[in-house]
Structure 1
Amino acid sequence: MTESVLNELKSVIESHQAGRVRLNEPLKNHTTWKVGGPAKVFYEPSSVKDLKIGLEEIRKRSLPWFALGKGSNVLISDQGIDGVVIKLGDNLTEFHQEGDLVTVEAGYSLIKLATIISKKGYSGLEFAGGIPGSVGGAVFMNAGAHQTDISNILTKAYVLMPSGEFRWIENEELGFGYRTSILQKNQGICLAAQFRFKRGDSAEIRERLQKNKAYRKDTQPWKDPCCGSVFRNPLPLHAGKVIEDLGLKGYSVGGAKVSEKHANFIVNTGEATAKDIVTLISEIKQLALREYGVSMETEVEYIG
């Protein structure tokens, strides 16, 4: 991947006015863990229409690409990404409602959506109070809490497939499971989602949402740079309890530390590298397997 190809791509996308392009952009500025090396090309489309134009130019040049939302639940290597990172951020935030059906683009904040819907007197997203990240990431991971998840309210998702095809996929085709969807296996990217909510008592709905927000604030290190929960719960056990029982609260590798507030969170104390976090995750896995015979799987997506 030569500099001339990258500069040409930047010029072509900008000539189409199809978004903003930067070269060698530090990805630590775009992840909630605040780690990650540079992206050779960092592309922010202004709309789904612009994304189609930009992706066509990227594919013409056979360049590898990766889509990034709000940067939670991802761990990007210290070496960065030798390709194009497409940031589906604050530009992809269209919101449309028809009765109990709400369609939002992937860059929309999940917390913001939960707040707006609850104020309108619609139920179904109270569980998302305090869950960081975007709607697109929530669909990709089937985000959930309090015995429910995204799959229970999603009707369909507008997806960019690895082939470059854009299409709507119905809920039953998305292969939802515990913190997983078929998009993870097929490397599909959610660009928009349609949800069906239920009418309810606005005051009760807001109360449940605020209760969930307060619970997360009280029990999780929301002020520290982190990715959210690191490990899937090894059901019927809880990942945080397993790690706490291992005596690892406060244990650190370099600048990465197991949170003293919630053991299933690894926080960046200021100078963490991706290598520090990977090493800490590996040590937790080895100890859990050795001491309790428990296999710990991460929720985190490793990139680069």
Structure 2
Amino acid sequence: MEKYAEMKSEFSEKMDVFLDEPLSKYTHTKTGGETDILAFPESVDQVRELLQYANDHQINITVIGNASNLIVRDGGIRGLTIILTKMKKITVHENMLVAQAGAAFIETTKVAQANSLSGIEFAAGIPGSIGGAVYMNAGAYGGDVDDVVVAADVLTPDNQVLHLNQKELDFGYRHCSVQDNNQIVLSATFQLKHGSKDKIQKQMDHLNELRASKQPLDLPSCGSVFKRPEGHFAGKLIHDSGLQGFQIGGAQVSKKHAGFIVNVDHATATDYLNVIKHVQKTVMEKFGVQLETEVRIIGADA
């Protein structure tokens, strides 16, 4: 549409901007339809410029990070999609680490280790961005973001930057207030503890070895698909339902870890969603447990 061409012209000298861009190029599942316009801002000011322009021209906005725990439907995303991965600065002062939203969580753990800071070893293998990790209160191996994040800068829908403390972020299981208030995470502040570089590295290596031994890291996936049901483990329920290896189209319940759905043969997002529905239906029938998705599902149907 003409308005998106005009927007591209407005911003293309400042940042990378693409029209009718397939989001399958960026999602970890390698699925997803096109977005009308895609932009890669490199600073908070550029994010605010994009938001202001979109608000003024009544253009819908969707913000994603590293697209690791995300399914974009095959109909794609209407309006503007912003990917924040070029906003990746990480700074350290004493025991405080500040990471921009687009910084990879894995890279952030490496910076912490290099500065003898302990507390985020649990995230050594989490493939998402800092913004996504805060948004979802990501966690693994007994650690969660809310254990270490003490504040975050966010952008409100009316283009105001707010500094939220941990109480205001109101973390819960795979949840924080940013979701409810339609805010954009710009950066996060971690409060860590001084420790031994060698011990921190050994713990990170150990957790990465565990991850590699249990998870299907060799295939495209959206990570852990379902939230942990109270009193149960999603992967065990799926395994005990005889669903490992179940496949629709190119999307398959992983034979290595039942909590993952992997792209084994040019899967579509619709394949993924159909597998999810079948898994939910089967587990409900067999165990009376409703599995809720942890993965974020966005976009339009094909």
TM range (shorter): over 0.9
Deviation at 1:44, TM superposition (A): 1.0
Deviation at 1:270, TM superposition (A): 2.7
Q: Where in structure 1 are there 5+ consecutive unaligned residues?
A: none
Indicate the SS of the match to 2:158: coil
294, 297, 302: which is aligned to 2:297?
Answer: 302
User: 2:97 touches 2:112 (CA, 8 Å); kept in 1?
Assistant: no
256, 263, 269: which is aligned to 2:258?
Answer: 263
Task: Say whether residues 1:18 and 2:39 are aligned partners.
Answer: no
Task: Say whether residues 1:73 and 2:79 are aligned partners.
Answer: no
Deviation at 1:40, TM superposition (A): 0.3
Task: Say whether residues 1:5 and 2:24 are aligned partners.
Answer: no
Deviations 1:243-264 (A, max 9, x none): 0000111110110000011000
Q: Which residue of 2 aligns with 1:242?
A: 237
Deviations 1:113-153 (A, max 9, x none): 11221232211011012111111111011011122201011
Deviations 1:31-84 (A, max 9, x none): 001100000001111211211122211111010010011111111110101110
Percent identity over the alignment is: 37
Q: Which amino acid aligns with 1:262?
A: H
Cα RMSD (Å) of the superposition?
Answer: 1.1
Superposition map of 1:1-304 within 5 A: 3-14=1-12, 17-89=13-85, 91-304=86-299
Which range moved further: 266-275 or 48-57?
48-57
- CA distance in 1 between partners of 2:101 and 2:289 (Å): 35
Q: Which amino acid aligns with 1:53?
A: E
Deviation at 1:7, TM superposition (A): 1.0
- CA distance in 1 between partners of 2:112 and 2:139 (Å): 17
Q: Which amino acid aligns with 1:256?
A: A
Q: Where in structure 2 are there 5+ consecutive unaligned residues?
A: none
Aligned pairs, how many?
299
- CA distance in 1 between partners of 2:60 and 2:182 (Å): 13
Deviation at 1:201, TM superposition (A): 2.1
